[in-house]
Amino acid sequence: MKVAAIQMVSAVAREANLARAHRLLAQAAEAGAELAVLPEYFCVMGQRDTDKLALRESAEGGMVQGFLGDAAREFGMWIVGGTLPLESEEEDHVFNSSLAFSPEGECVARYDKIHLFYFDNGVERYDERRVITPGIHPVVFELPSRDGHTWTVGLSVCYDLRFPELYRALARHGAELMLVPSAFTRTTGAAHWEALLRARAIENLSWVVAPAQGGVHENGRQTWGHSMVVDPWGAVLAQQDVGEGVVLCELDANQIERVRQQLPALSHRVL
């Protein structure tokens, strides 16, 4: 199955971001991708954290959800929409949610980001807890590919990457492919991004597809980029450093079976 990890440098205006995303999805479809994954905050990278509140959508639908469903139908492609703000029970908070759409335009899975980013090195400070309500449950969905294999796909977002227990839970639910749409900062990404992605792939003997924000944003934030695809043995097969682009890679379902037979570490788990 060919997949596309879409890298963006999202701006403040939602409509402009959706237009950029549409062009990149079109490139992915033209290249033959069956699954395209957008980065975290693909639809908005606001001037302030609270900008998300004005753009929140209900679980029943909204502009961004409509865009994702329409694009999935238009291109006949599975699309995972990085993240978008969905209504929370708290008036001054939203969920940071990743939605998966089938080629028929149906939303088949929703994952609300569980782990909320906090970082303060005296120069940069981020605290997602101020406006985001954490999710609770790991989520997987089934993706029948054109070659006849049905992939079990696990969903995660950005800061989740630092918590291996989530990915082990996804593996216990049968995940063969784990998605990590992200907006890693330049500081943390330079230090840890690739090491963490390769570790999650190696630990769970699973494919990892990680689309990212990558560049200098309109609001001044710098994101690390380096969207990549990692195979179940931990090898980086495709990546892009910074700037908008489409990272393409062919995933081999048989490779998962081979490495899990050669090294049945998942069955050796004790704790």
Query: Any catalytic annotation for residue 158?
Result: yes
271 pLDDT more than 90: no
Q: 230: part of which helix (H) or strand (E)?
A: strand 227-230
Domain boundaries, position 154: 2-268
Provide the 3-class DSSP secondary structure of residue 51: helix
Domains held by the chain: number: 1
Q: What pLDDT digit, counting tens, does each position of 225-247 carry? A: 999 999 999 999 999 999 999 99
Of 113, 128, 176, 249, the catalytic one is 113
pLDDT tens sequence across 249-259: 999 999 999 99
Catalytic residue among 52, 87, 158, 249: 158
Q: What is the CATH number of the domain that holds 40?
A: 3.60.110.10
Measure CA 34 to chain center: 16
Residue 85: in which H helix or E strand, if any?
Answer: strand 78-87
Asked if 257 is an active-site residue, the reply is: no
From 40, 87, 128, 244, the catalytic residue: 40
Locate 107 and state its tokens.
Answer: 């939303």
pTM of the predicted structure, to 2 decimals: 0.98
249 counts as catalytic: no
| Phi, psi (degrees; rounded to nearest 5) at 80 | -110, 120
- For 20, other C-beta atoms within 10 Å of its C-beta total 18
